[in-house]
Amino acid sequence: MGDRRWERREPRSGGGGAKYRMRQQLISLGHDFWIEDERGERAFKVNAKAVRIRATMVLEDASGRELLKIQERKLRLRNTMEIEDPDGNTIATLKKAMITPLRERFDVLVEAGENLEVQGNIVDHEYRITRGDAKVAEVSKDWFRVADTYGVQIAEGQDSVLILAVAAALDSMSHEGR
Protein backbone atom coordinates (compact mmCIF):
# COMPACT_ATOMS: atom_id res chain seq x y z
CA MET A 1 0.00 0.00 0.00
CA GLY A 2 3.00 2.29 0.26
CA ASP A 3 3.37 2.48 -3.54
CA ARG A 4 3.08 6.19 -4.38
CA ARG A 5 1.03 5.57 -7.49
CA TRP A 6 -1.83 4.54 -5.19
CA GLU A 7 -1.64 7.75 -3.21
CA ARG A 8 -5.07 9.30 -2.98
CA ARG A 9 -5.49 12.92 -4.01
CA GLU A 10 -7.96 15.03 -2.08
CA PRO A 11 -11.45 15.30 -3.54
CA ARG A 12 -12.54 18.70 -4.82
CA SER A 13 -15.49 18.93 -2.46
CA GLY A 14 -15.89 18.88 1.30
CA GLY A 15 -15.19 15.97 3.61
CA GLY A 16 -17.41 13.75 5.74
CA GLY A 17 -18.90 10.43 4.85
CA ALA A 18 -17.07 7.43 3.44
CA LYS A 19 -14.52 7.19 0.64
CA TYR A 20 -13.87 4.09 -1.46
CA ARG A 21 -11.53 3.10 -4.29
CA MET A 22 -12.82 1.11 -7.27
CA ARG A 23 -11.23 -0.23 -10.47
CA GLN A 24 -12.90 0.89 -13.68
CA GLN A 25 -13.99 -1.49 -16.42
CA LEU A 26 -13.15 -4.64 -14.49
CA ILE A 27 -16.83 -5.06 -13.76
CA SER A 28 -17.72 -5.21 -17.43
CA LEU A 29 -14.99 -7.76 -18.11
CA GLY A 30 -16.59 -10.31 -15.82
CA HIS A 31 -13.84 -10.22 -13.21
CA ASP A 32 -14.29 -10.19 -9.46
CA PHE A 33 -12.66 -7.26 -7.70
CA TRP A 34 -12.37 -5.64 -4.30
CA ILE A 35 -13.61 -2.20 -3.29
CA GLU A 36 -11.15 -0.70 -0.81
CA ASP A 37 -11.88 1.85 1.89
CA GLU A 38 -9.84 5.03 2.32
CA ARG A 39 -7.24 3.14 4.38
CA GLY A 40 -6.67 0.73 1.48
CA GLU A 41 -8.39 -2.16 3.27
CA ARG A 42 -10.75 -4.51 1.44
CA ALA A 43 -14.27 -3.44 2.37
CA PHE A 44 -16.50 -5.05 -0.29
CA LYS A 45 -16.17 -7.52 -3.13
CA VAL A 46 -17.94 -7.38 -6.47
CA ASN A 47 -18.47 -10.96 -7.61
CA ALA A 48 -19.21 -10.92 -11.34
CA LYS A 49 -21.24 -13.83 -12.67
CA ALA A 50 -19.93 -14.02 -16.25
CA VAL A 51 -21.59 -17.31 -17.14
CA ARG A 52 -25.13 -15.96 -17.06
CA ILE A 53 -27.08 -14.74 -20.08
CA ARG A 54 -27.59 -11.33 -18.49
CA ALA A 55 -24.97 -9.36 -16.61
CA THR A 56 -25.14 -10.21 -12.91
CA MET A 57 -22.91 -9.01 -10.08
CA VAL A 58 -23.11 -9.68 -6.38
CA LEU A 59 -21.88 -7.08 -3.91
CA GLU A 60 -20.50 -8.90 -0.86
CA ASP A 61 -19.03 -7.71 2.41
CA ALA A 62 -15.39 -8.54 3.20
CA SER A 63 -16.40 -11.89 4.72
CA GLY A 64 -18.28 -13.00 1.58
CA ARG A 65 -21.85 -12.36 2.77
CA GLU A 66 -24.15 -11.26 -0.08
CA LEU A 67 -25.44 -7.72 0.44
CA LEU A 68 -26.98 -6.83 -2.92
CA LYS A 69 -27.38 -8.38 -6.37
CA ILE A 70 -27.09 -6.20 -9.49
CA GLN A 71 -28.75 -7.60 -12.62
CA GLU A 72 -29.19 -6.36 -16.15
CA ARG A 73 -32.77 -6.44 -17.38
CA LYS A 74 -33.12 -7.51 -21.01
CA LEU A 75 -35.99 -6.69 -23.33
CA ARG A 76 -36.35 -3.14 -22.09
CA LEU A 77 -36.34 -0.08 -24.35
CA ARG A 78 -33.67 1.68 -22.30
CA ASN A 79 -30.63 0.25 -20.54
CA THR A 80 -31.90 -0.97 -17.18
CA MET A 81 -30.31 -2.68 -14.18
CA GLU A 82 -32.01 -3.75 -10.99
CA ILE A 83 -30.48 -3.90 -7.53
CA GLU A 84 -31.98 -6.59 -5.32
CA ASP A 85 -31.56 -7.62 -1.72
CA PRO A 86 -30.44 -11.21 -0.92
CA ASP A 87 -34.11 -12.33 -0.87
CA GLY A 88 -34.64 -11.18 -4.47
CA ASN A 89 -36.66 -8.05 -3.64
CA THR A 90 -35.93 -5.11 -5.94
CA ILE A 91 -34.65 -2.15 -3.92
CA ALA A 92 -33.62 0.12 -6.81
CA THR A 93 -33.79 0.28 -10.61
CA LEU A 94 -31.30 2.21 -12.75
CA LYS A 95 -32.52 3.56 -16.07
CA LYS A 96 -30.61 5.53 -18.65
CA ALA A 97 -32.51 8.79 -18.89
CA MET A 98 -30.82 11.12 -21.33
CA ILE A 99 -27.65 11.53 -23.36
CA THR A 100 -26.17 14.89 -24.28
CA PRO A 101 -22.79 15.53 -25.90
CA LEU A 102 -20.92 16.02 -22.61
CA ARG A 103 -23.16 14.52 -19.93
CA GLU A 104 -25.24 11.44 -19.36
CA ARG A 105 -28.09 11.11 -16.94
CA PHE A 106 -29.47 8.06 -15.16
CA ASP A 107 -32.46 7.82 -12.87
CA VAL A 108 -32.25 5.52 -9.86
CA LEU A 109 -35.77 4.58 -8.78
CA VAL A 110 -35.54 3.59 -5.11
CA GLU A 111 -38.38 1.35 -3.91
CA ALA A 112 -38.41 2.40 -0.23
CA GLY A 113 -37.05 5.92 -0.36
CA GLU A 114 -36.41 8.98 -2.42
CA ASN A 115 -35.15 8.50 -5.96
CA LEU A 116 -31.62 9.43 -7.00
CA GLU A 117 -30.29 11.10 -10.13
CA VAL A 118 -26.87 10.51 -11.64
CA GLN A 119 -25.42 13.13 -13.93
CA GLY A 120 -22.03 13.72 -15.49
CA ASN A 121 -19.50 11.88 -17.60
CA ILE A 122 -20.27 8.28 -16.65
CA VAL A 123 -17.78 6.64 -19.05
CA ASP A 124 -14.90 8.74 -17.66
CA HIS A 125 -16.02 8.30 -14.03
CA GLU A 126 -16.67 11.98 -13.35
CA TYR A 127 -20.22 12.29 -12.05
CA ARG A 128 -22.45 13.14 -9.10
CA ILE A 129 -25.31 11.27 -7.49
CA THR A 130 -27.98 13.54 -6.06
CA ARG A 131 -31.30 13.30 -4.26
CA GLY A 132 -33.21 16.43 -5.18
CA ASP A 133 -30.73 19.27 -4.66
CA ALA A 134 -28.61 17.34 -2.13
CA LYS A 135 -25.36 15.67 -3.22
CA VAL A 136 -25.32 12.03 -2.10
CA ALA A 137 -22.01 10.99 -3.68
CA GLU A 138 -19.31 12.15 -6.05
CA VAL A 139 -17.30 9.86 -8.32
CA SER A 140 -13.96 10.88 -9.77
CA LYS A 141 -10.84 9.28 -11.16
CA ASP A 142 -8.89 12.51 -10.63
CA TRP A 143 -8.27 11.54 -7.01
CA PHE A 144 -5.90 8.70 -7.93
CA ARG A 145 -2.66 8.46 -9.85
CA VAL A 146 -3.42 5.04 -11.34
CA ALA A 147 -5.30 5.41 -14.64
CA ASP A 148 -7.85 2.62 -14.11
CA THR A 149 -8.85 3.61 -10.57
CA TYR A 150 -11.63 5.91 -9.44
CA GLY A 151 -12.98 7.05 -6.11
CA VAL A 152 -16.45 7.21 -4.68
CA GLN A 153 -16.98 9.77 -1.93
CA ILE A 154 -20.29 9.20 -0.19
CA ALA A 155 -21.90 11.94 1.89
CA GLU A 156 -22.35 11.36 5.59
CA GLY A 157 -25.52 9.49 6.53
CA GLN A 158 -26.00 7.85 3.11
CA ASP A 159 -26.35 4.13 2.32
CA SER A 160 -22.79 3.27 1.19
CA VAL A 161 -23.74 -0.22 0.01
CA LEU A 162 -26.50 1.08 -2.27
CA ILE A 163 -24.31 3.88 -3.64
CA LEU A 164 -21.45 1.44 -4.40
CA ALA A 165 -23.92 -0.90 -6.11
CA VAL A 166 -25.13 2.04 -8.23
CA ALA A 167 -21.52 2.90 -9.18
CA ALA A 168 -20.80 -0.74 -10.13
CA ALA A 169 -24.01 -0.92 -12.20
CA LEU A 170 -23.17 2.33 -13.99
CA ASP A 171 -19.67 1.06 -14.78
CA SER A 172 -21.14 -2.11 -16.28
CA MET A 173 -23.81 -0.24 -18.25
CA SER A 174 -21.38 2.32 -19.66
CA HIS A 175 -18.85 -0.30 -20.84
CA GLU A 176 -21.18 -2.89 -22.41
CA GLY A 177 -19.63 -5.26 -24.92
CA ARG A 178 -16.10 -5.12 -23.52
pLDDT less than 70: residues of the chain: 1-16, 24-30, 50-54, 74-78, 98-102, 144-147, 175-178
Query: What is the CATH class of 16-174?
Result: mainly beta
Three-state DSSP class for 29?
coil
| Domain extents in the chain | 16-174
* CA distances to 9, 67, 91, 120 from 116, in Å: 27, 20, 12, 14
Residues 64-86: tens digit of each pLDDT: 999 999 998 765 556 789 999 99
pTM of the model: 0.82
The residues facing 49 across adjacent strands are 56
Burial class (CB in 10 A: 0-12, 13-18, 19+), 140: buried
